[in-house]
Amino acid sequence: MPRLSYRRALTRALADELTRDEAVFLLGEDIQVGASLVTTGLAKRFGTDRVRDTPLSEQAFTSFATGAALAGLRPVIEFQIPSLLFLVFEQIVNHAHKFPLMTGGQCSVPVTYLVPGSGSRTGWAGQHSDHPYSLFAHVGVVTVVPATPADAYGLLVTAIRHDDPVVVFAPAGAMDVRDDVDDLVPVPLGRGRIHRFGDDVTVVAIGHLVHDALAVAEELADQVSVEVFDPRTLYPFDIDGLTESVARTGRLVVLDDGNRSCGMAAEIIASVVERVRLLAPPRRVTRPDGAVLPFAPALDRAVQPGRDQLATAIHLTMKDSA
Amino acid sequence: MTDADPVRLYRTVRLIRRFEQRAVELVHGGQIVGGIHPYLGQEGIAAGVCAALGVDDVLAGTHRGHGHVLARGADPARMLAELCGRVTGLNAGRGGSMHAADLSIGVLGANAIVGASGAIITGAVWAHRRRGRDTVGVSFFGDGAVNEGMLLEAFNLAALWRVPVLFVCENNGYATTMPVAGAVAGSIAGRAAAFDIPAVQVDGQDPETVRVAASAAVDRMRAGGGPELIEARTYRFDVHHTFEHAVRLDYRPPDEVTRARTRDPVRIQGERLRDSDRAAVDAEVEATLDAAVRFALSSPEPDPADALTYLYASGLTARTGGGS
């Protein structure tokens, strides 16, 4: 079985789709040299017309992609910095996302927004460390956050083939994950994955935090049986899959690298408790309300959801239902 | 490619004029909700520019967008049905006045976000040309848009990548109530010059003058040239939005309005026709609009159960907001 890194899985997905479909092209800043180390070699292989470097004009090139999609192409935009999504939120939400409805079904806007290195990259401080996936779920843009190399490949391929806009968050904390991967295949949207079965509590973990949840589950294995559920797609969300899991365990903890208020964890918990009577109040481990990541590494870590917090939340949930 | 027929040019401005007047009546009658931004007085620009376009070309407009859609050849009946929120509308009643679109004829939509159309059209034209078509595009915007960074970024992209987009600034003197002098440092043409985009100023009240300038620009673009800009000086004869018919806002001197109204694009173009030709066009336009109003008002309203049909082109369905 070949070892594949998450980062290389993204590269493979881009290369495979560029090969498969002439309508696919890449757009972004410094992608010809591959500053993010994801688009490495693609300009040489597919030409600078299909792997296009842009000036620092995020709003224009995001809407340029919308126009190109309206004309039948399938653009993929790479954003090196997650906070750039704030700058182009208008172009994605008000135009790309709204055009199919507003035109009464006259068009589709198949654009993929790829953010390699979302969330904290220790030391990049306040304006480069956000993880704004909940915003896109809120407005109804398809949002995926793969945790593993196989899912990074499969979900990026699916995103590119999808007929609506899709934001792909590739967390910095997952970029160096390596796995033995047998098959590189498309992964369907809206289908979660149980990485580890358990009986006592379901932990929903998003993106790179899946690996933290698995580590904590292993650490606590002699005290509590933890199931780890990875939604993979945040919108649409696999509520049926999660409901099935929580119906078995009766307890729910959510580990989410977004801010607490109006975050994904809140939505996930609400969606579950609408359907399932839990044995204990659900808990969430998130960034604080309104978090701005401070620069100093110890402060940066203090604001991100951590393994200790997750272990504590699991213990409290068990205690609450004892 | 250019349609230089003065009768057809007159028909377009006359159609837009009477369409807008009928639409204002329907706003006052309550059949069009939400009001409209009438294109009255600016008809010559859409008519002149669209007369210079070919079948493969694309355009996108503004919140004051009815003229662009009609001049491009959209069915007035389906356009009016859209304004009335009917299923037979261009957008199946999902877009309304500010989002009317007909992609089958290259109208990528009126767009209610000021300055948004430039980058969208640039991308669409680039994509069509990459797919082997000889497409050029038009991005219509008002004087207010020249202070939007998004549009200036689009100027740069189009010029840098030599994408043949005709940027048409409809300078009617006011961004809602803000006069150009209070909002624009430098000049509109000067913004184009900064990107080495050729720019001309034309009298937007004369449809033929606009057509000639647009045709020359389109010819140069088809011959391999990059983007160009036309600043069409114009004046809106009526309100920014029909809400002003109920709430009078005091920002344009009455004598300025009266003076501007003497330069009427419909009259200017009409005087180039024989009386009998003009009368025939007027009658045909009235009949077309009578039929359009009947069609719109007799068309069914959409079923509330279908409110979010078309939300996703992929067929994804959204969870409902209800409590069950």
Here the CATH number for the domain that contains residue B268 is: 3.40.50.970
Interfacial B residues in 203-262 facing A (CB < 8 Å)? none
Across the interface, which of A60, A100, A103 has its CB nearest the CB of B150? Answer: A60
Residue with tokens 């009427």: B264
Instruction: Assess whether pLDDT exceeds 90 at residue B305.
Output: yes
In a domain, B321, yes or no: no
In a domain, B51, yes or no: yes
Min distance B319 CA to chain A CA atoms (Å):
9
In a domain, B126, yes or no: yes
Instruction: Assess whether pLDDT exceeds 60 at residue A45.
Output: yes
Interfacial B residues in 50-69 facing A (CB < 8 Å)? 58
Indicate whether A61 and A207 sit together in one domain.
no
Which of A128, A195, A208, A211 is an active site residue?
A: A128
Chain A hits for B125, CB-CB cut-off 8 Å, are 67, 71
> Would you call B153 and A71 a contact, using CB atoms and an 8 Å cutoff?
no
In a domain, A188, yes or no: no
Indicate whether A89 and A197 sit together in one domain.
no
- The answer, for B128 touching chain A at a CB cutoff of 8 Å, is yes
Q: Pick from A65, A26, A76: which is nearest to B121 by CA?
A: A65
Min distance A237 CA to chain B CA atoms (Å):
10
Condensed to tens digits (0 to 9), the pLDDT of residues A174-194 reads 999 999 998 899 999 999 999
> Would you call A140 and B123 a contact, using CB atoms and an 8 Å cutoff?
no
- DSSP letter string, B29-66: TTSS-S-----TT-HHHHHHHHTT--TT-EEE--SS-H
Chain A hits for B311, CB-CB cut-off 8 Å, are 100-101, 140
- Predicted pLDDT at B323: 74
Indicate whether A103 and A201 sit together in one domain.
no
A156: domain range? Answer: 3-180
Burial of B234 (0-12, 13-18, 19+ CB in 10 A): buried
Distance CA B167, CA A147 (A): 44
- Chain B residue with the nearest C-alpha to that of A65: B123
- The answer, for B48 touching chain A at a CB cutoff of 8 Å, is no
Condensed to tens digits (0 to 9), the pLDDT of residues A65-84 reads 999 999 999 999 999 999 99
Instruction: Assess whether pLDDT exceeds 90 at residue A218.
Output: yes
- Predicted pLDDT at A1: 61
In a domain, B322, yes or no: no
Q: What is the CA radius of gyration of chain A?
A: 19
Instruction: Give SS3 for B34.
Output: coil
Distance CA A147, CA A194 (A): 12
Indicate whether A221 and A174 sit together in one domain.
no
- The answer, for B103 touching chain A at a CB cutoff of 8 Å, is yes
Distance CA A100, CA A93 (A): 12
Across the interface, which of B113, B119, B308 has its CB nearest the CB of A64? Answer: B119
In a domain, B318, yes or no: no
Question: Which amino acid, residue A185?
Answer: V
Instruction: Assess whether pLDDT exceeds 80 at residue A19.
Output: yes
Chain A hits for B99, CB-CB cut-off 8 Å, are 102-103
A128 is catalytic: yes
In a domain, B286, yes or no: yes
Q: Stretch A104-115: mean pLDDT, rounded?
A: 98
Strands A142-144 and A166-171: parallel
CATH number at residue A223: 3.40.50.920
Q: Pick from B175, B158, B156, B176: which is nearest to B166 by CA?
A: B158
In a domain, B216, yes or no: yes
With bands split at pLDDT 50, 70 and 90, how would you rate the model's confidence at B324? low
Instruction: Quote the number of domains for chain A.
Output: 2
B155: domain range? Answer: 6-306
> Would you call B314 and A91 a contact, using CB atoms and an 8 Å cutoff?
no
Burial of A105 (0-12, 13-18, 19+ CB in 10 A): middle
Condensed to tens digits (0 to 9), the pLDDT of residues A147-161 reads 999 999 999 999 999
Instruction: Assess whether pLDDT exceeds 70 at residue A213.
Output: yes
Indicate whether A167 and A106 sit together in one domain.
yes
Q: Stretch B229-256: mean pLDDT, rounded?
A: 96
> Would you call A59 and B314 a contact, using CB atoms and an 8 Å cutoff?
no
In a domain, A255, yes or no: yes
Across the interface, which of B102, B116, B316 has its CB nearest the CB of A63? Answer: B116
In a domain, A271, yes or no: yes
Chain B hits for A164, CB-CB cut-off 8 Å, are 312-314, 316
Listed residues A159, A180, A201: the one ending a domain: A180
- The answer, for A299 touching chain B at a CB cutoff of 8 Å, is no
